[in-house]
Amino acid sequence: MMAKNKEPRPPSYTISVVGLSGTEKDKGNCGVGKSCLCNRFVRSKADEYYPEHTSVLSTIDFGGRVVNNDHFLYWGDITLNGEDGVECKIHVIEQTEFIDDQTFLPHRSTNLQPYIKRAAASKLQSAEKLMYICTDQLGLEQDFEQKQMPEGKLNVDGFLLCIDVSQGCNRKFDDQLKFVNNLFVQLSKSKKPVIIAATKCDECVDHYLREVQAFASNKKNLLVVETSARFDVNIETCFTALVQMLDKTRGKPKIIPYLDAYKTQRQLVVTATDKFEKLVQTVRDYHATWKTVSNKLKNHPDYEEYINLEGTRKARNTFSKHIEQLKQEHIRKRREEYINTLPRVFNTLLPNLEEIEHLNWSEALKLMEKRVDFQLCFVVLEKTPWDETDHIDKINDRRIPFDLLSTLEAEKVYQNHVQHLISEKRRIEMKEKFKKTLEKIQFISPGQPWEEVMCFVMEDEAFKYITEADSKEVYSRHQREIVEKAKEEFQEMLFEHSELFYDLDLNATPSSDKMSEIHTVLSEEPRYKALQKLAPDRESLLLKHIGFVYHPTKETCLSGQNCMDIKVEQLLASSLLQLDHGRLRLYHDSTNIDKVNLFILGKDGLAQELANEIRTQSTDDEYALDGKIYELDLRPFDAKSPYLGQLWTSAFKPHGCFCVFNSIESLNFIGELIGKIRTEASQIRKDKYMANLPFTLILAHQRDSISKNLPILRHQGQQLANKLQCPFVDVPAGTYPRKFNETQIKQALRGVLESVKHNLDVVSPVPTNKDVSEADLRIVMCAMCGDPFSVDLILSPFLDSHSCSAAQAGQNNSLMLDKIIGEKRRRIQITILSYHSSIGVRKDELVHGYILVYSAKRKASMGMLRAFLSEVQDTIPVQLVAVTDSQADFFENEAIKELMTEGEHIATEITAKFTALYSLSQYHRQTEVFTLFFSDVLEKKNMIENSYLSDNTRESTHQSEDVFLPSPRDCFPYNNYPDSDDDTEAPPPYSPIGDDVQLLPTPSDRSRYRLDLEGNEYPIHSTPNCHDHERNHKVPPPIKPKPVVPKTNVKKLDPNLLKTIEAGIGKNPRKQTSRVPLAHPEDMDPSDNYAEPIDTIFKQKGCSDEIYVVPDDSQNRIKIRNSFVNNTQGDEENGFSDRTSKSHGERRPSKYKYKSKTLFSKAKSYYRRTHSDASDDEAFTTSKTKRKGRHRGSEEDPLLSPVETWKGGIDNPAITSDQELDDKKMKKKIHKVKEDKKQKKKTKNFNPPTRRNWESNYFGMPLQDLVTAEKPIPLFVEKCVEFIEDTGLCTEGLYRVSGNKTDQDNIQKQFDQDHNISLLSMEVTVNAVAGALKAFFADLPDPLIPYSLHPELLEAAKIPDKTERLHALKEVVKKFHPVNYDVFRYIITHLNRVSQQNKINLMTADNLSICFWPTLMRPDFEKREFLSTTKIHQSVVETFIQQCQFFFYNGEIVEITNTVAPPPPSNPGQLVDPMVPLQLPPPLQPQLIQPQLQTDPLGII
């Protein structure tokens, strides 16, 4: 039963392979292929197939377990799957005859029968016989697989008779056939099936095969299978056919002809080979090894199949061939790379055609070897050729192997290089020739297409030679040059016509009429017409220029890095730093002075005499002065002494120099010597203070002719002292027996000690914050950006002075001078600005004098000077400075002569100083160039300051007539209006000068000082400056001046001035009351809710204490006590010896354009081109006699601003003197301006230049990169806001007053290094943190309020209904990017909290919006549409701040109550003091401006 359950075993057959065997004599020197047939069948893999099997064995091998003393081999068994799926196991036996390798006779075995009978045996037996694998197995059986013959015995089931059909080896085929015939007879007797296997058919002899087939056909059922063990053809077919004969159920065997079977087998091999080669080709590194690759591929079916069919050896050979191909390909590519690099190398090493044109290849090689760059281009290898060295593997070494140059390819490249240089030289010559041809064609205009020009150059030789691409390239280059030149000339032309542009306030918006006027004037210029074909570019340049004129900053200066402000700051930063370092060393050397080193200079023994006199008065070289003992070290030097090299050494550093004289000759000698000392020291520049050594001139007493020569010597000595800026010690009164008096010596020593002490004060290393108001004079030097001279030239008169020092910290464009003017030492602040930065200063700052510099080589420089000077008040002294190379330019260059003459002519007309600076002259670089000018300024100082305050008074008095609605950006940097909507300071980076520039005292500083009658400043309590309404461009409330009682005893005025005043009174009698500022303090009505202080300058004597009352919305009053000194002498010094002189003292200053016919005619010429034909002379004459007294005559001139003649200014009679006509024009123009402001414009992205000068990975990054979902607010913003709200929420002027720029930069730099830094630990001011916060938003790549939403915000802001407008704005805010929305809500909430403290910090929502809207919205002021919508942008941000709860926290709409201006005063005798802050109305909304100017001149509805 169990046997039935067992699975049936597959049938097992034993097949015996027989054939010709025996000695070499019997079978020849090779067998018939029995072993190969068995090997291929049992182990078909190519690696397991052994083509050589020997039958000659040693006795030992014959007796081994594999042969086992038998003449047959057991090849093992193999399981076959038949076509019908039935398996069978086949044991293979090979009957052979082993030959003894000693006797070459068959080995003796147990079976002594001959081979024929032994081979036909059907039963085989051999105990423990092992399976045979290969010949190498014999004797080493343990190294191979050991498999025993089953049970040591087998029964043969069939025979496979092998017949070799190849050309035999020393064997006759007939003998083999005879042997096979005998063998077949014996096999037939066994009754077992037999199949003939024709072996070695791959070397088949055809007639042999035919004889075998004939032999088989004579036998019954004898099949012939044609085989080839080498190619594995029909091997398996032999055995399967025999099995089919044994098992009748398997069907009749199918015999495949050899050729068909061979084709099938070869197809398998070819397919496998292709697949394997593809696998191998995936290897791209020729350094790969077979071992590595075979390990990676061993499991791949394609790899295994090929290995089975062809074997590992062939696979390795295939791989090796592939690797060699890769290597050769690599070498080929490297060679191509080297060859392709050679032209570039030749261009580097052999660029000059003249040098190599006649050299052969070998000479060129030697020349290259001598080049400095040879080692960079070539490598000389120790072994050659290069492709057989490891250099081919140095991928990173791009140098060319030098032995490569020995090839013909390299020589050919060199020849091509020479030919290329020749052709390139010719090509360049032709291109340049064609370029010159184009330059000769006059009708080629900028922007003209090539097609219009090409027809005119078709016959040109150069055009025919060069290619079309070259001709277009040359023409494009020519076009770029003429376009660039035309644009530069156009820009220069715009500057030359500066009067046409600089006639409005900063931040004003040019109207369409103004633009038409500009185009009308410019259209006459050839430089304007030159850009006719580039009209868009021309318009862009014009708009850019206008944008810069009205919104000037050094960042947007059209001269770029040649901006005067930038160059001045750079020069001062380096020069003053060197000065400070030198003085610091001097300070350390000079502290605690107990020893004084003196250098005594004289002639004819005077120096030694003075030294002897000092020693006579000393005790052991110790001199007693003012209660202190000084050790003196005296070094007298006479005329013949080699003093210059010994003046300042490490051992002797003089504190001063006594220069003694007693005659004209000795005085001249001293003057020349001091000049040489300073000049040599300045040229050598070893020690700058050698040239700045303090000198003291001492006049020696003369016993003879004292009365005759002493006055002359005294006068000339004083003159030289003034020139040298040093003290002069005169001979005291009385008669003395000796040449020098003790009083003289003490006076001279005191002077030296004072100079040393002064230097110590200047260079004191202890930080001091001196107020700028300490300066006695404030001078502004203006220069044109881009002028062809160095900044060092115009600053050298100051920087080369020993009295030059740095100004207050933060004033990067200022320096201080200490000069002796008159009898006292004066501190002079020199602020050097570009003209565009000076315009904002001209009106709003107290300036004692202007130094106006222009280049005599540039008309635009003179044009800018004229435009600037025209608007300067004629009370301010002016120094004109022309700059050129040398005096010879005046005589050799007509253009320079014309400009210098014009400058001198203007100076003569306005009674100004004029001088010239020559870059090739040293003398004109000395400070003495401006000494006379400084003296003139000092003389007029009191008048200038009184005029400044007087003008402020008038502006404050007549504010009601200024109805121009300017841009909110131009705001004054101080405000003291508790509830005013006025702003105070323009936010960065749109300040006309820049954040880091502070020209003069800020109004907050100046507000703490008032001028007494002598022009001295003394502190008062917070009183704002009267310029606030101009800088803020807000409309003040209507304030009517109170009538005053006319005064008599008016001094007689200048006839011309009197004529002017009379003409003005005659034409405008209604306005003359405003010319008289007199008031009685007792007329002031205290019941008026009106700020009416008494005039601060023209007070009655004896009226020393008055109360100034400043109202606010809470009815609280701020009392300001102003004390005056009742000093008649002080009045006289200011020109007011009596109350009756107030008329003269109150003479309103004019502008220089009305004093200079040149300036006025130039300005008038622009107006005449577009408006009238009046002559320049008539206009000039009339303008001086017909000025309206009620307007401030020096602020706005309708002559230069015809579009806005209604604006407060002088009504020029050249236009009209009819008051009614003026009023009509005013209404019309205002309405037109307001209409223009309603127009909607499209904006573009505008990124202002970054204020940072260092690389940052935080500031300037996109907002999205600085926040996370957990922290939606940038960390820096959080830190700044928390710091401000914790420490400075109530700081006055928060976000308006600029903090120190250095502190702002340090805050950001420290945060860049450590995000966890504490701002409290940095000890910085609140204003610095606020400035750093604003700078963070200004540096963002895109504004916080996206550009894409600006049009929607503008449209929403124009909705008349308040509720609807707010809801529309809220919907727009919801469209913000989530990141922008979170940060915007955070910052607006913070600003709302700031505005809630406006009673203390004076920062209302309006003020904050004016400071913040440009930073949040990033406008592009170069676009005209932005210029007309600035107010709307500001009002939108103001609304966000006011309605913060509604927009972001679903709160209710906050009702904003507008403060109504107080009624006009009822007391006709009271005037309004300009220093009292006024309560201003709320900001104008564009949609509320209605044409009701007749009833409401302020435009406030």
Taking residue 944's Cβ as centre, other Cβ atoms within 10 Å add up to 21
pTM of the model: 0.44
994 vs 796, residue with greater confidence: 796
Kindly write down the DSSP assignment for every residue of 1435-1462, as one continuous string. Answer: HHHHHHHHTHHHHHH--PPPPPPPPPPP
Q: Is the pLDDT of residue 727 over 90?
A: no
Average pLDDT over residues 1180-1187: 40
pLDDT at position 6 is 57
Integer Cα distance of 548 and 1421 in angstroms: 8
CA dist., res. 1077 & res. 659, Å (int): 55
Looking at per-residue pLDDT, the higher value among 512 and 415 belongs to 415
- The answer to whether 1037 and 1480 are in contact (CB under 8 A) is yes
With beta carbons less than 8 A apart as the criterion, state whether 1420 and 1404 touch: no
Q: How far is CA 853 from CA 566, 916, 1285, in A?
A: 17, 9, 47
pLDDT tens digits for range 836-854:
888 877 767 889 999 999 9
Assigned token pair, 700: 């020696």
**569 and 813 Cβ atoms separated by less than 8 Å:** yes
Residue 365 near residue 378 (C-beta atoms within 8 A) = no
Higher local confidence (pLDDT), 607 or 1087 = 607
Task: Work out the angle at residue 1079's Cα, subtended by the Cα atoms of residues 1075 and 1085, and round it to the nearest 5 degrees.
Answer: 125
Residue 1446, both tokens: 């509604």
The string of pLDDT tens digits covering residues 871-914 is 888 889 999 999 998 888 888 889 999 999 999 999 998 989 89
Give pLDDT tens digits for 189-205: 989 999 999 999 999 99
Based on DSSP, count helices (H) and strands (E) in the chain, helices before strands.
56, 29
pLDDT for residue 660 is more than 60: yes
Cα 534 to Cα 486: distance, rounded to the nearest angstrom: 10
Residue range 47-99, pLDDT digits in tens = 999 999 988 999 898 989 999 999 999 999 998 887 667 788 999 999 999 99
Whole-number mean pLDDT of the chain?
75
- Which of 566, 575, 574 shows the shortest CA–CA distance to 836? 566
Q: What is the pLDDT of residue 1344?
A: 92
| DSSP symbol at 149 | P
More confident residue, 373 or 1074: 373
Relative to beta strand 194-199, strand 913-918 is unpaired
Residue 104 DSSP SS3: coil
Alpha helices in 940-1008 (DSSP H): 941-957, 1003-1006
- For the chain, what percent of residues have pLDDT higher than 70? 71
Query: Of 344-353, 1062-1071, 1385-1394, where does mean pLDDT reach its minimum?
Result: 1062-1071
Q: Coil, helix or strand for 882?
A: strand
- Tens-place pLDDT, residues 736-748: 667 788 888 888 8
What is the rounded average pLDDT of the residues 679-700? Answer: 67
Instruction: Calculate ∠ Cα 458-460-463, nearest 5°.
Output: 75
DSSP 392: G
Q: Residue 268 pLDDT more than 90?
A: yes
Identify whether the C-beta of residue 31 lies closer than 8 Å to the C-beta of residue 55.
yes
Q: Is the dihedral of CA 188, 194, 195, 196 positive or negative?
A: negative
Contact call for residues 714 and 699 (beta carbons, < 8 A)? yes
Determine the pLDDT at residue 849: 93
Residue 860's nearest CA partner among 840, 877, 835, 892 is 835
User: Taking a C-beta distance cutoff of 8 angstroms, is the pair 1163, 1156 a contact?
Assistant: no
Assign 1377 a pLDDT band (cuts: 50, 70, 90): very high
Q: What is the pLDDT of residue 626?
A: 78
| Cα angle value 411/415/417 (rounded, 5°) | 115
Check residue 1220 and give its pLDDT: 42
Q: Please report, as a single letter, which amino acid is at residue 1133.
A: E
Q: State the burial class of residue 495 (Cβ atoms within 10 Å of its Cβ: 0-12, 13-18, 19+).
A: buried
d(C-alpha 938, C-alpha 877), whole Å? 10
Q: Does residue 1021 have a pLDDT over 60?
A: no
CA-to-CA separations, 1472 to 230, 1070, 1081, 1089, 1148, in angstroms, rounded: 127, 19, 11, 13, 17
Whole-number pLDDT of residue 303: 92
How many whole angstroms separate alpha carbon 111 and alpha carbon 207?
37
CA dist 1372 and 1379 (Å) reads 15
Q: Rg for the chain (alpha carbons), in Å?
A: 55
Choice between 1159 and 1463, residue whose per-residue pLDDT is larger: 1159
Residue 1027 CA to residue 26 CA, distance in Å, equals: 136
> What does the pLDDT read at residue 39?
94
Q: State which amino acid sits at residue 425.
A: K
Q: What is the pLDDT of residue 319?
A: 93
Nearest to 1398, CA basis, from 1406, 1387, 1389: 1406
User: What pLDDT is stored for residue 996 in this prediction?
Assistant: 38
CB atoms within 10 A of CB 846: 19
Higher pLDDT, 1204 or 1417: 1417
